[in-house]
């Protein structure tokens, strides 16, 4: 028997009908599902999915239903069916509606008719996903289409798509999980799981260097024009002395003056343009290399000493050199032979004097480089250590003041600073001496040119104007050489800074584009994990292996130095193991897209640090696309909403770099909410209750329970026994090895004995 509905949509047509009431819907016996206990459905809200007890078992009826779904009517037959059942008059339609009403009234006593589930889209669990239809006694269909009820975490564990519980006045109202966020792959962030593009820092460096050389080539052309036009002044003096004064021609004077004035104007314009080009080149270098250097420093700092971030200061050094007068002098040096050639045209003997002086100045510059390179290097190294101590003082200012350690801190900083200044004085003394020698040689050379030129003039070989012009041209030839010697220190600093930038970018591993995998469920597998810090032979982690299913919670305990924090860092990828692997949903974390992996996990480090900004920004991980609902959901899930509500500005409270005005426990709870932001699938908490009071411990335990109900895998590193009651498994680490691992009751029984209360000693 089959039931055929009219092709016309009636006012009782279900909005869940995929055909929209536009065609006949035939329900055969193979479309029926097993009868469900009405007592279980009586108190259930209307859902757009089949619950576990409502799903069909793998029986012959299910197989026959699936076979029946594969048989589809041909289009011609469908059209014939539509025409055959088209009502001939409005009365016929009314009669059919009455039959439908009568059928629906009998459905309360009979098993409800349900349309078999169609093939769902992969990874889709949203309401209305065609996993079934609403119950026969469901409310208004429009209300079903827009669910607004808030579900508790217990409902989340039952298979609904909800997270968290509110702790507001309406505590029994569940918190909905909207379609706009959470990082579950369903939400607005088309950008929330944006694939990380490949990062080739070496290619970025090469591209930046090509841009620099391209701009410098244009600047070199302008420098050539500038140096050629600057010859107008000595030529003008030569013409005035030898032509105008002898001929007493006013027209010649006016013409020469106009030409030379135009040349000077163009020379000044070209010089200004090349300086503009160098300034923009420096800005372009900072814009191109700033982000890659910071990214490379962040990657390298995982295995470094933290000095990698000082490379940004090196970038500023390079930028400053590009706009300095030293670079202008270096660009002018190649045109010194042009001026020497002009002097040769005046008289070869004067040219030989200039060549001898130029060679002497070059030798002085090379000796200056050799004598000042080592002192400047040691001065920079000592200054770097002093800057590190200064940064440490700024981060530990409260300890320094509380323990009256200011004299000791100043002494340590002053020791390195004094050493740096000592080496700088030695280097600068040598640089000043060689600069004075070069200046004296240049002045003596000009005197020699004037004196020998006067002698040649007395011999009648050259004129007086030629002598004056030769002296001016010689001064212009020696000026860039002298400027290069005086700026040699700046050049050495810039070269060292560029070498460090080059080494950082070239040694950084190539960040390939990774496949964007489906959103993880939270399964964690650790296989034979071994970690030996670089430069040492001490084994911190030795052959650690364990597995956690989605939603399980693990507490890692052990004495200080057992490797607990190191294990937590390897689980989130902060440090890479020497051997072994950490897998999330069977995929090694090194093969996950870094952006997607970071958004799929949460991490609360032992040393909690907040970023300068509002509490809202810190919980939202400083993301511009973080919605208010995502931030509120994370705060509720971490059970810190009430604590934030007590602050004067609430979520808009501005936090300084040191966490002011929050206390240590408040900072830790804000960082806990940051770890739960975006509904991660795995969360690692390192000593999350080290700064918490009793109320904070209860809130933390509640947050872990809510995370468990939300199927979030949680790893807690703790020394306090208060959290052991809310975890599923416990691991005891001893000297980097797994001493005990198993379910909570089993491990506690082995630790304390069967008759003792659960308590961790030491």
CATH number at residue 321: 1.20.1560.10
- pLDDT tens profile 280-324: 888 888 888 888 888 888 777 766 666 777 788 888 888 889 888
Same domain for 497 and 552, yes or no, is no
Number of H-type helices and E-type strands within the chain: 26, 16
Query: Can you tell me whether residue 153 is helix, strand or coil?
Result: helix
Same domain for 332 and 407, yes or no, is yes
Residue 171 lies in a domain: no
The predicted model scores a pTM of 0.56
So what's the pLDDT on residue 303? 65
So what's the pLDDT on residue 133? 37
- pLDDT tens profile 24-42: 444 444 444 444 444 443 4
So what's the pLDDT on residue 97? 46
Residue 469 lies in a domain: yes
Rounded alpha-carbon distances, angstroms, from residue 627 to 69, 616, 631: 42, 10, 6
The band of 13, judged by pLDDT with boundaries at 50, 70 and 90, is very low
Mean pLDDT of the chain: 74
Same domain for 404 and 455, yes or no, is yes
Domain boundary at 507, 533, 567, which? 507
Top-confidence range, 35-39, 51-55, 154-158, 563-567: 563-567
Residue 531 lies in a domain: yes
Residue 279 lies in a domain: yes
Same domain for 537 and 604, yes or no, is yes
Residue 725 lies in a domain: yes
Q: Give the number of domains in the chain.
A: 2
Domain boundary at 507, 539, 572, which? 507
Residue 226 lies in a domain: yes
Same domain for 459 and 531, yes or no, is no
Cβ–Cβ < 8 Å for 298, 379: no
So what's the pLDDT on residue 512? 61
Same domain for 588 and 628, yes or no, is yes
Query: What is the average per-residue pLDDT within 388-417?
Result: 82
Same domain for 495 and 643, yes or no, is no
| Burial class, 201, CB count within 10 angstroms (exposed 0-12 / middle 13-18 / buried 19+) | buried
Q: How far apart are CA 753 and CA 743, in angstroms?
A: 15
For the chain, what is the radius of gyration of the CA atoms? 40
Same domain for 414 and 545, yes or no, is no
Residue 91 lies in a domain: no
Residue 692: give the domain boundaries. 524-752
For residues 655 and 394, the model is more confident at 655
Residue 684 has pLDDT above 90, yes or no: yes
Same domain for 554 and 587, yes or no, is yes
For residues 74 and 247, the model is more confident at 247
Residue 716 has pLDDT above 90, yes or no: yes
- pLDDT tens profile 641-669: 988 998 888 999 998 877 788 888 888 88
Same domain for 575 and 700, yes or no, is yes
Domain boundary at 507, 535, 565, which? 507
The band of 546, judged by pLDDT with boundaries at 50, 70 and 90, is very high
- pLDDT tens profile 234-244: 888 888 877 78
The band of 48, judged by pLDDT with boundaries at 50, 70 and 90, is very low
Which residues neighbour 684 within 8 Å (Cβ) at sequence distance 6 or greater? 568, 571, 572, 601, 602, 603, 604, 714, 715, 717
Same domain for 623 and 475, yes or no, is no
| Burial class, 485, CB count within 10 angstroms (exposed 0-12 / middle 13-18 / buried 19+) | buried
So what's the pLDDT on residue 562? 87
Residue 534 has pLDDT above 90, yes or no: no
So what's the pLDDT on residue 383? 85
CATH number at residue 537: 3.40.50.300
Residue 22 lies in a domain: no
Same domain for 425 and 501, yes or no, is yes
Query: What is the average per-residue pLDDT within 525-534?
Result: 89
Torsion of CA 114, 116, 121, 123, to 10 degrees: 70
So what's the pLDDT on residue 187? 37
Residues linked to residue 27 through DSSP beta bridges, in sequence order: 3
């Amino acid at each position: 028997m089959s039931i055929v509905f009219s092709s016309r949509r009636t006012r009782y047509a279900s909005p869940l009908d995929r055909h929209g009431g536009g065609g006949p819907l035939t329900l055969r016996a193979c479309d029926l599902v097993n009868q469900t206990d009405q007592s279980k459905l009586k108190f259930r809200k209307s859902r757009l999915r089949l619950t576990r007890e409502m799903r069909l078992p793998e029986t012959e009826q299910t197989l026959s239903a699936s076979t029946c779904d594969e048989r589809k009517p041909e289009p011609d037959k469908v059209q014939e069916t539509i025409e055959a059942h088209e009502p001939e008059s409005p009365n016929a339609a009314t009669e059919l509606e009455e039959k439908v009403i009568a059928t629906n009234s009998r459905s309360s006593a009979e098993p409800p008719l349900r349309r078999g589930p169609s093939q769902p889209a992969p990874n889709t669990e949203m309401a209305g996903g065609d996993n079934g239809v609403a119950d026969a006694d469901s409310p208004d269909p429009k209300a079903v289409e827009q669910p607004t009820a808030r579900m508790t975490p217990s409902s989340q564990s039952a298979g609904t798509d909800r997270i968290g519980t509110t702790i507001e006045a309406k505590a029994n109202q569940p918190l909905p999980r909207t379609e706009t966020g959470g990082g579950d792959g369903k939400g607005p962030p088309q950008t929330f799981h944006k694939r990380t593009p490949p990062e080739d820092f070496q290619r970025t460096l090469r591209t930046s260097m090509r841009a620099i050389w391209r701009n410098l080539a244009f600047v070199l052309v302008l420098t050539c024009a500038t140096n050629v036009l600057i010859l107008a002044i000595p030529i003008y003096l030569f013409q005035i002395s030898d032509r105008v004064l002898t001929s007493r021609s006013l027209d010649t004077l006016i013409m020469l003056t106009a030409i030379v004035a135009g040349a000077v104007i163009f020379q000044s314009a070209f010089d200004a343009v090349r300086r503009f080009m160098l300034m923009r080149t420096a800005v372009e270098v900072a814009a191109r290399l700033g982000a890659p250097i910071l990214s490379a420093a962040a990657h390298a700092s995982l295995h470094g000493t933290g000095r990698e971030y000082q490379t940004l200061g090196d970038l500023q050094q390079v930028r400053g050199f590009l706009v300095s007068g030293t670079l202008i002098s270096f660009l002018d040096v190649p045109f010194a032979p042009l001026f020497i050639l002009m002097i040769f045209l005046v008289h070869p003997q004067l040219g030989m004097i200039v060549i001898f002086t130029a060679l002497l100045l070059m030798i002085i510059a090379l000796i200056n480089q050799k004598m000042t390179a080592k002192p400047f290097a040691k001065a920079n190294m000592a200054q770097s250590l002093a800057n590190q101590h200064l940064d440490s003082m700024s981060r530990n200012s409260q300890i320094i003041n509380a323990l009256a350690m200011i004299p000791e801190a100043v002494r340590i900083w002053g020791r390195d600073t004094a050493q740096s200044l000592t080496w700088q004085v030695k280097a600068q003394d040598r640089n000043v001496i060689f600069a004075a020698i070069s200046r004296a040689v240049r002045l003596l050379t000009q005197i020699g040119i004037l004196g020998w030129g006067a002698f040649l003039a007395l011999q009648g070989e050259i004129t007086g104007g030629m002598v004056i012009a030769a002296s001016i041209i010689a001064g212009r030839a020696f000026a860039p050489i002298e400027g290069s010697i005086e700026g040699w220190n700046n050049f050495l600093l810039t070269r060292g800074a560029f070498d460090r930038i080059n080494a950082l970018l070239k040694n950084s591993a190539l960040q390939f584009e990774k496949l964007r995998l489906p959103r993880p469920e939270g399964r964690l597998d650790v296989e034979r994990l071994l970690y030996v810090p670089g430069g040492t032979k001490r084994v911190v982690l030795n052959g650690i292996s364990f597995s956690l299913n989605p939603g399980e919670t693990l507490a890692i305990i052990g004495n200080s130095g057992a490797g607990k924090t190191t294990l937590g860092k390897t689980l989130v990828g902060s440090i890479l193991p020497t051997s072994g692997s950490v897998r999330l949903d069977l995929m090694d974390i090194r093969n996950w897209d870094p952006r997607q992996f970071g958004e799929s996990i949460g991490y609360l480090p032992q040393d909690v640090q907040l970023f300068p900004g509002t509490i809202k920004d810190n919980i939202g991980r400083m993301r511009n696309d973080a919605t208010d609902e995502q931030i509120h959901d994370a705060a509720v899930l971490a059970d810190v909403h009430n604590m934030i509500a007590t602050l004067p500005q609430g979520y808009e409270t501005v936090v300084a770099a040191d966490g002011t005005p929050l206390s240590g426990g408040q900072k830790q709870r804000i960082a806990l909410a940051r770890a739960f932001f975006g509904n991660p699938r795995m969360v690692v908490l390192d000593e999350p209750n080290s700064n918490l009071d009793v109320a904070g411990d209860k809130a933390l335990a509640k947050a872990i329970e809510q995370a468990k109900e939300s199927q979030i895998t949680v790893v807690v590193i703790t020394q306090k026994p208060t959290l052991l009651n809310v975890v599923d498994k416990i691991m005891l680490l001893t000297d980097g090895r797994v001493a005990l691992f198993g379910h909570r009751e089993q491990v506690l029984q082995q630790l304390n004995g069967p008759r003792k209360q659960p308590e961790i000693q030491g």
